[in-house]
Chain A
Amino acid sequence: MALLGVLDRERTVAPPGFNRWLIPPAALAVHLCIGEVYGFSVFNKPLTQVIGITESIRGRDWTIPQLGWIYSIALIMLGLSAAVLGRWVERVGPRKTMFASACCFGGGLLLSSLGTHLHNIGLLYLGYGVIGGIGLGLGYIAPVSTLVKWFPDRPGMATGLAIMGFGGGALIGAPLGVELMGRFKSSTSVGVEEAFLVMGVLYFAFMMFGAFSVRVPAADWTPEGYVPTARPKAMVTRDHVSVDRAWTTPQFWLLWAVLCLNVTAGIGILGQASLMCQNMFDVPEAVGAGYAGLLSLFNMGGRFFWSSTSDWTGRKAIYALYFLLGASLYALVPFTQKVHSVALFVLVTAVIISMYGGGFATIPAYLRDLFGTMHLGAIHGRLITAWSMAAVLGPQLVNYVSTYRIEHGVPKAEAYNATMNLMAGLLLVGLVCNLLVRPVHARHHHQPDPQPL
């Protein structure tokens, strides 16, 4: 019990002289680990050969559709746990949440290792999907409100740094998984079971570094030399809105739509990047894979770049840019195919994906501007359900529209053009939602109790 006391919020209040630049690495340590979920696909093929080792044995080995559920369950649980446990996260603070996240994510990988050993798909659904997914949701929202409180002068940059880590997690997780499977592969094993085991332990240890580094600022703390402006900007409140009030406001649902549409448009490309590049330009598979790798870099970099930029431009303006520029660039993609310029295609889609990442990273700061910091983590948690929705919608839209057109005689190279125009349309709807966002009415503001909670 003494150990659990170390996790309490009261025990994590930073002493005087504590440097706030220790907080972003703590947040990154957690996000770099949980971002591994984006690289889970590297395990798909080996998992279809657990029994056959060199080839998949029909009827005995798992199939890709069966395995696809692991990723889907994990993402659904991410959204659900962030939405349901958000208030708990706010109450217990970042350290206990990061600890719980590490236990769930690391434990989920260990259970998946056992499931692979026993060849029991249910254990993978439970381990990586349900338990690991809860770890994803907790870890994703854990550091957000803490970072905003430490960086009231640059909230966009601070949350951009952490959420950049989630994008970066795939860059580490995918090659690490491949490397480990290569090391442990033998005549009796595809190496997945051992890779899950090692990754479970490694990720748990790395997340512990984050959990025990994180601190919350003292109630009266402000950064040295920071003086809040006498008159806050029109779209930035100094009041607070409780989570239960926040999600009854139109602003919450407009931002929900903003996030959902931005993510739907981006994820549609990201999930199909390699295949789309090959089909549109008839390039080899290695080039398509290289294109997907490059997009991942822009996805990660955009999270930091655009979110930091929003501290200067304001959140509403930067989202207007994401949507307007994004829609224009999507509309330009068919032209790149028409003139058969791979370089122009790569440039255009890389900027689109950077803004997709930017949309993720800027949303916590947008929420802070509108609803204050009191229940920011919980409100952010509920908004993340938009991501779960988009994770289903985006790939389905791209798949459905392109497959439908190919089946109706459209050449493969041109089949994606209609999808691009559809994505541009979605972004324009997002633009309208963003333009409708106004400051939250004062009647929703939290009135402090005479006694502290």
Chain B
Amino acid sequence: MNDPRAKTPTSRIALAWAIVLIPLGWGVFQSLVKSLPLFRNTASASSPLVPGISGGKPN
């Protein structure tokens, strides 16, 4: 169905994806940085997945 003589250049496709993925990647990075305190907090608990052992401050 497609005309092989007029295929879209791969570089054009890569550029189009880069234009949207770069800002999205920046946003994802910013969110990960923002969520770091959460990981530090849960990692500080000895075994947060075990029932009865706190992942945060005791109530």
**Most A Cβ at <10 Å: residue of B24, B27, B30:** B27
Contact present for A282 and B13 (CB under 8 Å): no
A-B complex: 5 closest residue pairs judged by Cβ atoms: A342-B55, A171-B27, A17-B6, A290-B38, A343-B48
Label chain B's interface by main secondary structure. helix
Docked CA distance A165–B17 (Å):
13
Number of interface residues of B (CB under 8 A): 43
Tell me, rounded to whole Å, the shortest Cβ–Cβ distance linking A382 to chain B: 28
Docked CA distance A290–B24 (Å):
18
**When each residue 40-59 of chain B gets 1 if its CB lies under 8 Å from chain A and 0 otherwise, what string results?**
01100100111111111111
Number of interface residues of A (CB under 8 A): 50
**Most B Cβ at <10 Å: residue of A171, A175, A339:** A171
Contact present for A16 and B30 (CB under 8 Å): no
Contact present for B56 and A297 (CB under 8 Å): no
Partner of B42, one of A171, A293, A346: A346
**Given A18-B8, A19-B7, A25-B16, 13 new contacts (CB under 8 A):** A22-B13, A26-B16, A29-B20, A32-B24, A172-B26, A172-B27, A220-B1, A281-B59, A290-B38, A293-B35, A297-B35, A339-B52, A342-B55
**B20 contacts which chain A residues (CB < 8 A)?**
25, 28-29, 32, 165
Label chain A's interface by main secondary structure. helix
Tell me, rounded to whole Å, the shortest Cβ–Cβ distance linking B7 to chain A: 5
Tell me, rounded to whole Å, the shortest Cβ–Cβ distance linking A206 to chain B: 8
Docked CA distance A287–B40 (Å):
9
**B16 contacts which chain A residues (CB < 8 A)?**
22, 25-26, 213
Contact present for A293 and B34 (CB under 8 Å): yes
Contact present for A343 and B49 (CB under 8 Å): yes
Contact present for A341 and B54 (CB under 8 Å): yes
